[in-house]
Structure 1
Amino acid sequence: MIDVQDVSKKYGDFTALHTVDLKIKKGEFIAVLGPSGCGKTTLLKLLAGFMGPTEGSIAMDGMQVATAKKVVPPEKRNIGMVFQSFALWPHMSVADHVKFPLEYHPNRKKGSKAELESRVQEVLGLVGLETFAKRYPSELSGGQKQRVALARAIAPLPNLLLMDEPFSALDVELRMEMRKEIQKLHKETGASIVFVTHDQSEALAIADKIVVMNAGRIEQIAPPEVIYTRPETPFVASFVGKCNLVEGQWKKEGFVPDGDAKSVWPDLGVARSFKANGIFPVRPEQLQLALAGNAGLQGQVSFVQYQGNEIHYTVEVDGTMWTVHEPVYAPRFHVGDAVSVSLKTAVLQERELAAVLK
Structure 2
Amino acid sequence: MTTKVENVRKVFGDFEALKSVSVSIEEGEFIAILGPSGCGKTTLLRLIAGFEEPTAGSIYIDNNLVGNENHVKPPELRNIGMVFQSFALWPHMKIYDQVEFPIIHHSSTPDRIKSNRKKRMETVLKLVGLSDLSERRPNELSGGQKQRVALARAIAHEPSLLLMDEPLSSLDAELREEMRKEIQILHRKTKSTILYVTHDQGEALAMADRMVIMKDGAIEQIGTPEDIYLRPNTSFVASFVSKAILIPGSWEGSVFYPDAAPDNEWDGKCIASAFKENGTYPVRPDEWIMSKKFSGIQVVINNALYQGREIHYSATDQTGLTVNMITPISERYEIGDKVSIQKTGTKVVSVTSTTAR
Is 141-150 or 267-276 further displaced after alignment? 267-276
Q: What one-letter code is carried by the residue in structure 2 that aligns with 1:303?
A: N
Matches within 5 A, 1:237-252: 237-252=238-253
Distance 1:203 1:308 in 2: 24
Quick one: structure 1 residues 263 and 325, their matched pair in 2 at CA, closer, same or farther if it must change by over 3 Å? same
Aligned pairs for 1:103-142 (under 5 A) are 103-110=104-111, 115-142=116-143
The amino acid of 2:40's aligned partner reads G
Matched-pair contact (CA < 8 Å) for 2:230–2:242: no
**Partner of residue 308, structure 2:** 308
| 8 A Cα contact 2:82 2:154, kept in partner | yes
Q: Which runs of structure 2 are paired with 1:95-244 in the superposition (5 Å)?
A: 95-110=96-111, 115-244=116-245
Which residue number in structure 2 is paired with residue 342 of structure 1? 342
Q: Which amino acid aligns with 1:182?
A: I
DSSP-derived class of the 1:265 partner = strand
What is the Cα deviation at residue 112 of structure 1?
9.2
Measure, in 2, the Cα distance between the counterparts of 1:88 and 1:320: 48
Tell me, what secondary structure is at the counterpart of 1:9? strand
Which AA in structure 1 matches 2:234? Answer: T
CA contact (8 A) 2:34 2:201 kept: yes
TM-score by length of 2: 0.94
Distance of aligned partners of 1:287 and 1:112 in 2 relative to their CA distance in 1, 3 Å threshold: closer
**Which residue number corresponds to residue 351 of structure 2?**
none
Distance 1:42 1:113, change over 3 A: closer
Match of 1:36 in 2: 37
> Aligned pair 1:275/2:298, yes or no?
no
Q: Which amino acid aligns with 1:209?
A: R
Deviation of 1:110 (Å): 4.1
Measured on the aligned residues, the alpha-carbon RMSD in Å equals: 1.4
Q: 1:49 to 1:315 in 2, by over 3 A?
A: same
For 2:27 and 2:335, the matched residues in 1 are separated by 52
| Uncovered stretches (5+) of structure 1, i.e. residues with no partner | 349-358
> What is the rounded CA distance, in whole Å, between the counterparts of 1:65 and 1:114 in structure 2?
27
Match of 1:25 in 2: 26
Distance 2:272 2:212 in 1: 17
Letter in 2 for 1:315: A
Counterpart amino acid of 1:33? Answer: L
TM-score by length of 1: 0.94
Matches of 1:187 and 1:253, distance apart in 2: 40
Alpha-carbon spacing, 1:333–1:116, altered in 2? closer, same or farther (3 Å): same
Report the alpha carbon displacement of residue 337 of structure 1 after superposing the two structures with TM: 0.7
Q: Distance in 2 between matches of 1:136 and 1:109?
A: 27
Asked whether the 8 Å contact 1:121–1:130 carries over to 2, the reply is yes
Confirm or deny: 8 A CA contact 1:253 1:264 kept in the other structure: no
In percent, how many aligned pairs have the same letter? 52
Instruction: Please state how far the C-alpha of 1:344 moved relative to its aligned partner.
Output: 2.2
Partner of 1:82: 83
**1:244–1:322 CA contact under 8 A, matched in 2:** yes
Distance 1:114 1:333 in 2: 67
Question: 1:241 Cα shift?
Answer: 2.3
1:170 Cα offset (Å): 0.7
| Shift in alpha-carbon separation, 1:169–1:246, aligned structure 2, 3 A | same
User: For each residue in 1:11-44, what CA deviation from the matched residue of structure 2 results, as whole angstroms up to 9, or x when unmatched?
Assistant: 0000100110101111110000011111000000
Are 1:13 and 2:14 an aligned pair? Answer: yes
Structure 2 gaps, min length 5? 348-357
Question: Counterpart in 1 of 2:333?
Answer: 333
Aligned mates of 1:113, 1:150 — CA distance in 2: 19
Aligned amino acid, residue 298 of structure 1: Q
Structure 2 Cα separation of the partners of residues 112 and 60 of structure 1? 21
Paired with 2:123 and 2:115, the residues of 1 have a C-alpha distance of 12
Aligned counterparts of 2:320 and 2:287: Cα–Cα separation in 1:
21
